[in-house]
Amino acid sequence: MARTPATPTLLDLPPEAAEARLADWVAAAGLPAYRARQLWPRLWQRPAASWLDVTDLPSPLRARLEAELPLARLELATEQRSQDGTRKFLWRLSDGELIESVLIPSGERRTLCISSQAGCALGCVFCATGTMGFRRNLSPFEIAGQVRELVLRDPADKPTNIVFMGMGEPLLNWEAVDVALSLLNSPEALGIGARHITISTVGIVPGMEALAARPSNFAWRSRSTRPPRNGAWPSCPSRRSTTWPRCSRRRWPSASGSPSSTC
């Protein structure tokens, strides 16, 4: 049976909503408004692993933030490195589900292939994730947090490009992917340019229409070895394409107990 993501946190909110919630919290705590401006960049721009690490804040405030607005994390279960510098990360979510990200360096470019679901319901014939079945949708934080965790570990690893080609069909989790795109793209959050973010889909028409309706020009790419969903291939009103990233259908040796590969 499909499970649901953990309780939403501050990091699951779109940038404007998170900023407003922080401002409300600061006001309710009787603190000066500048404290909200001090806290806000530590969500995504200069992420903090924990409020306890933000040493420019008074110790009592750090403790209160940690108790009332804790910063969610993804736990690194395994990291594998290949000889060409490609790195695969296996993340354990708060409920024990496992998802993957793959960081692919190429010159000045660092492309991160991220997951949008735990497992996948679509069962594409070439894909090991499809054999797992669908476990659950990821929350906005669990999607954009795959980038946040890399930045926390080493800011030099911050990806220049994002491709939604890890586990799952992103347009079947549109509500969370929509928020995650804002977190990835907003200059107030991770600040990765829209044209450097590619959504790969088997062709979920309602999701493609929702993606095309967004103001930013995100790239998209079709992927399928079987007939498209919802009938004939649509002619997307904002058809855009980018270079097919090297993680396409990459197969990995499986870590013990981990999913064996993604698309």
Binding residues for ligand SF4 (CB under 6 A):
120, 122-124, 127, 129-130, 167-169, 202, 262-263
Smallest distance, Å, CB 157 to ligand SF4?
24
C-beta closer to ligand SF4: residue 127 or 147: 127
Q: Residue 206 is encoded by which pair of tokens?
A: 């309602």
Smallest distance, Å, CB 123 to ligand SF4?
6
Smallest distance, Å, CB 98 to ligand SF4?
14
C-beta closer to ligand SF4: residue 74 or 171: 171
C-beta closer to ligand SF4: residue 171 or 189: 171
Instruction: Report the C-alpha gap between 263 and 111 in whole angstroms.
Output: 15
Rounded to 5°, the CA angle 129-247-219 comes to 100
C-beta closer to ligand SF4: residue 14 or 259: 259
Contacts 24+ apart (CB under 8 A), 151-159: 151/47, 151/190, 152/47, 152/49, 153/76, 157/103, 157/110, 158/110, 158/190, 159/103, 159/110, 159/111, 159/112, 159/192
Smallest distance, Å, CB 168 to ligand SF4?
5
